[in-house]
Structure 1
């Protein structure tokens, strides 16, 4: 448990640090570049993300889960991933013109040819990241990631200031990938020590290909909204949606990454100890909800004054979308923890099956909501995330004692406490603002103070055990 807690702290430091820098930079660039630049990158995101998933091919998870790993396994994964990354980039390079024609945006051709280089660069870090994750050494990853994101962010802001436009975003991604690769190889040097091994590949791919297919589906449908909006509307609308989606997804996905990176190797190591496994699984669910639920609800209630103060009136259309998407991403860490269990139990077949089922619902909901505009699409995303919770928890309940009812009993009190804290805070502040005629700055300030105070006070009364445990972790007390 001590190793997991230490890993959680360093994983949190890396993810929170990286995402905090990227969020600040994104907000600065949004003011400098406007919605169009973000819209163009948003359209290309799905192509880069899918290529990245194909390049990994589920081998990272396979290496982490494997009990006895050899240098043959690492070397085989390394060589295969680089080959696939090169093929993915070649496909993007050849298809760049068709992508630009499809979206009727000529700039996309040059953008994707340059941006696609990040896929090749990232393939050189797969083994180092897997080896460090296995050892739960997130301190080394934190040093590399934080250094890379800071330098790339400074460069991108400078380029944006000198009117490089959308290319400031492209170079930010490329420089970040390159520096991460270089620093990981400096801090944790590794070179393949054997040739490609068919037997090792068969095992890794046998486990990983199902995760690959599931991840491809997840990535495609996670970014399908930008594709559809890009085709149906214009880059400005894509930019507005992309900005709202990023602002909502950053805290949820950051926290999810922290939890996944620590709990997956931890649960893998105790998978045979049933009682300990069940306890750790339930505690992880509750702690995730305790942290992420209020964070996302708080983001939802400050959406309008936040957008107005930070991004300006050009981005005001994103406020309503941000509010809806904040509640949409609230359950994202819970989904990830449930799906982690399936991977730990070696049921990548069910993992894939779940992705197919959930994606079928996305297609249906999209088909219904597209004619009603972008806001309706976001509401459809909200509906889908709650459907996904019931689907995920039903199947993971087949491999643990935590059935749907048990998960609801564990999460519902926290959800209710958060909802009441958010509503109380919102009505108190809006009443004060309407009476005193305060501006958006004061409204944002009051909301940022009142909800945390109400939530912390409620947590000390109604969720005292979780409150104490998380406080102990923060204060480095023995847990």
Structure 2
């Protein structure tokens, strides 16, 4: 096994441990919180999500990607970026503090003033972790990241539940968020031995910003326009309806975020290393798309088919309006991880300008669909989101086809076998156990049937991804024994 392949395999394994464990923690403890809190509480957080997300994007300024893309990044680059991130975070928090009353006035929710002032502190806290995380990603060291993220996730979860049990309502979500990110920053400094030097180079900043500025603009556009759904729903509809939408979004993001983050964090630094070799890049892209599809499709089909028992069992009847939204939005995330792979290729190619243009196109589509759908209810708004996600896939994949001959059509062909198997198994499981009235039993039997059936089919059909994962697991067990 080559050194690069060892890095890739190790990265996938530890990134998988990291994200699966983190998502499990968020999922389990999030369910507990959702049962203790009200949809309105999540709706209030949803109203300010766009402002915090955009603020964090500005603080990061695209420098993380720029440092990963720069093969010869040095101490001057890291230190300059660290101090720049920190200074910008102070400025951004000051702006949030000042505009908090205006945001609260826009939504006609006075409580948002204090919520923004407290949640905004995370902008400063998170700035301390940016360079530490970047260095570990650049080294493809996901073991340290896994330890940090799992530990901080548990800390945040226990703080949030403790606050909810104490009757703090929406503040439970705020304090969970803050405590988790504070723990993350502290632990990154413990697990990574990098320390900043008192150096600030304008020249280094300019060079990094030349690449990073386009990533920043793209990230800002993505953050603003992806979260514009929350702004529109929060302004036009009731806070509890926004709560249903945010809960559906959180559910559908579990498989998408899990797979996307693993593949994106691992493939980007590897693509940078081999970007001049079109054949190797094409092979990496193809394997990434196939592995992503292999992991993603059964999770998506389960979400869609078993959304009703899932919501009833985990969240109780007060969250039932989430079901239809979840089923619609889950369709829209099918291509999300594949988009991330295609965008990784574009950025690894050094074409952050092209990445920006594609984001602008997609965001124009978001505005158009929102303008058409906003008055027809949140379900139709969700349908608009799905349409934009499909179009977005083909815009990104077009350039993979142009540069390395791996078009959107070829990517879809690589996905189809996993899609067909997942749909067949999930539909069969759905109808097989539909006579069962106990929703918990129905959910458990349904998921287990799909899971076991998928493994059996992968074995019989000799899916390469299944065989490779099985081989990796055997090797790991062999080493452990």
Question: Displacement, 1:128?
Answer: 0.6
Query: Who is 1:475 aligned against?
Result: 474
Match of 1:90 among 84, 94, 103: 94
Match of 1:139 among 136, 143, 155: 143
Question: What does residue range 206-355 of structure 1 map to in structure 2 within 5 Å?
Answer: 206-355=210-359
> 1:362 & 1:461 partners in 2: Cα distance?
42
Please say if 1:52 is aligned against 2:56: yes
> 2:425 & 2:176 partners in 1: Cα distance?
38
Query: Who is 2:175 aligned against?
Result: 171
- Superposed CA deviations along residues 192-247 of structure 1, whole A, max 9, x for unmatched, are 21421111111110001111111111111221111111000111111111001101
Question: What does residue range 182-221 of structure 1 map to in structure 2 within 5 Å?
Answer: 182-221=186-225
> 1:334 & 1:320 partners in 2: Cα distance?
24
Question: Displacement, 1:475?
Answer: 3.3
Query: Who is 1:40 aligned against?
Result: 44
Question: What does residue range 77-156 of structure 1 map to in structure 2 within 5 Å?
Answer: 77-156=81-160
Give unmatched runs, 5+ long, in structure 1.
none
> 1:324 & 1:476 partners in 2: Cα distance?
40
Query: Who is 1:67 aligned against?
Result: 71
> 1:189 & 1:51 partners in 2: Cα distance?
27
Match of 1:25 among 22, 29, 32: 29
- Superposed CA deviations along residues 3-50 of structure 1, whole A, max 9, x for unmatched, are 111111111111111111111111111110110111111111111000
Contact 1:71 1:194 in 2 (8 A): no
Give unmatched runs, 5+ long, in structure 2.
none
SS in 2 for 1:476: helix
- Superposed CA deviations along residues 35-83 of structure 1, whole A, max 9, x for unmatched, are 0111111111111000001111110000011011110100111111111
> 1:61 & 1:93 partners in 2: Cα distance?
28
More deviation in 300-309 or 397-406? Answer: 397-406
Contact 2:311 2:319 in 1 (8 A): yes
More deviation in 268-277 or 453-462? Answer: 453-462
- Superposed CA deviations along residues 244-283 of structure 1, whole A, max 9, x for unmatched, are 1101112211221111111111111111233222111111
Task: Give the TM-score normalised by structure 1.
Answer: 0.96
Cα 1:294/1:75, change in 2 over 3 Å: same
Question: Displacement, 1:411?
Answer: 1.6
> 1:147 & 1:238 partners in 2: Cα distance?
30
SS in 1 for 2:384: helix
Task: Give the TM-score normalised by structure 2.
Answer: 0.96
> 1:260 & 1:412 partners in 2: Cα distance?
21
Query: Who is 2:453 aligned against?
Result: 454
More deviation in 459-468 or 210-219? Answer: 459-468
> 1:289 & 1:2 partners in 2: Cα distance?
22
Query: Who is 1:417 aligned against?
Result: 421
> 1:17 & 1:449 partners in 2: Cα distance?
20
Question: Displacement, 1:383?
Answer: 1.6
- Superposed CA deviations along residues 304-324 of structure 1, whole A, max 9, x for unmatched, are 001001110100110111111
Please say if 1:160 is aligned against 2:178: no
Please say if 1:400 is aligned against 2:404: yes
> 1:467 & 1:70 partners in 2: Cα distance?
39
Contact 1:72 1:194 in 2 (8 A): no
> 1:403 & 1:119 partners in 2: Cα distance?
38
Match of 2:367 among 348, 355, 363: 363
> 1:273 & 1:295 partners in 2: Cα distance?
34
- Superposed CA deviations along residues 342-381 of structure 1, whole A, max 9, x for unmatched, are 0000000110010011111111111121121011111111
Query: Who is 1:14 aligned against?
Result: 18
Question: Displacement, 1:463?
Answer: 5.1
More deviation in 364-373 or 308-317? Answer: 364-373
> 1:41 & 1:476 partners in 2: Cα distance?
45
Question: Displacement, 1:422?
Answer: 2.2
Contact 2:393 2:408 in 1 (8 A): no
SS in 1 for 2:475: coil
> 1:298 & 1:331 partners in 2: Cα distance?
16
Please say if 1:390 is aligned against 2:394: yes
Please say if 1:381 is aligned against 2:385: yes
More deviation in 137-146 or 303-312? Answer: 137-146
> 2:301 & 2:193 partners in 1: Cα distance?
42
> 2:444 & 2:178 partners in 1: Cα distance?
36
More deviation in 87-96 or 189-198? Answer: 189-198
> 2:385 & 2:465 partners in 1: Cα distance?
30
Number of aligned residue pairs: give it.
473
